[in-house]
Amino acid sequence: VIIIQNDIMMKRLLLSLFITLTWFLVDAASSNGSPSSSRAFNRPHDYDIINEEVLYEGWRKVIRRTVQSPKLTKHIDFDVIDQTHSTGGAVIIFAWNSTSKSATIIREYMPGCHRVLGGLAAGLVEEKHATEEDAARYELEEECHLAGGTWYRLIDDGVSVPMDKYVQTEIVPYLVVDPHHVPNPRPIDDEEDIEIVTDVSAEEIMQMVKKGDMNLVGAWGALLALVKLRELGEIQ
């Protein structure tokens, strides 16, 4: 019986090693030596934009985008949302304290769902920002009153992630570990009403995500940050 059990365990181990090696080889072959080339997902397609018209423009603008493709029997119109004052994308930041093993997040009114939800510091990349990380540092100071620390980009270099199927804005998420308090931070925007929430554990973050106390983008950024924190040995 012991011999049979050991044989089964060995077969399972070999199968696990085979699967792991297979995925490693597939990833290596598809990346062609570049760690980001397999993840940018800028797939070729045969859709062409034949017309764009701004239907409305305020803080954001609605664009009527007309596309054509050999796959379509007629031209198709889509209503696409874009930022009015920025074309540089957006950033979102998860702030972590390695001493207290806790995060600093925010709560704010979200007009789309007409609710006050938890979230992360976030904002647009504007002309005044030299880089995406520069924009992230600005937003962290404005919304969480934090600066400095050790910064981690949570997706590959050169990659940004589309916010939604019908939104042009693309986002870059960051984790910052051990930022310090800023006594006189840059002011927030006039329309923002933000409550800073400190000492939030990783378990509480997960509960917020599961209970719908974060919007989709905030939850996505938080989950990526938790994965990185596990890699760093900050959480189990």
User: What SS3 state is found at 140?
Assistant: helix
Report the predicted TM-score, pTM, of the whole model to 2 decimal places: 0.80
Say if residue 12's pLDDT is above 60.
Answer: no
What residues does 81 pair with on adjacent strands?
62, 167
pLDDT of residue 9: 53
Phi then psi dihedrals of residue 32, to 5 deg: 50, 35
Mean pLDDT of 20-46: 51
Q: Is the pLDDT of residue 122 over 60?
A: yes
Locus of tokens 């062409």:
48
Average of per-residue pLDDT across 9-14: 52
What pairing do the DSSP bridges indicate for beta strands 102-110 and 194-200? antiparallel
When pLDDT is cut at 50, 70 and 90, the band that residue 85 belongs to is confident
pLDDT tens readout for residues 215-236: 999 999 999 999 999 999 999 9
Mean per-residue pLDDT for 139-156?
A: 96
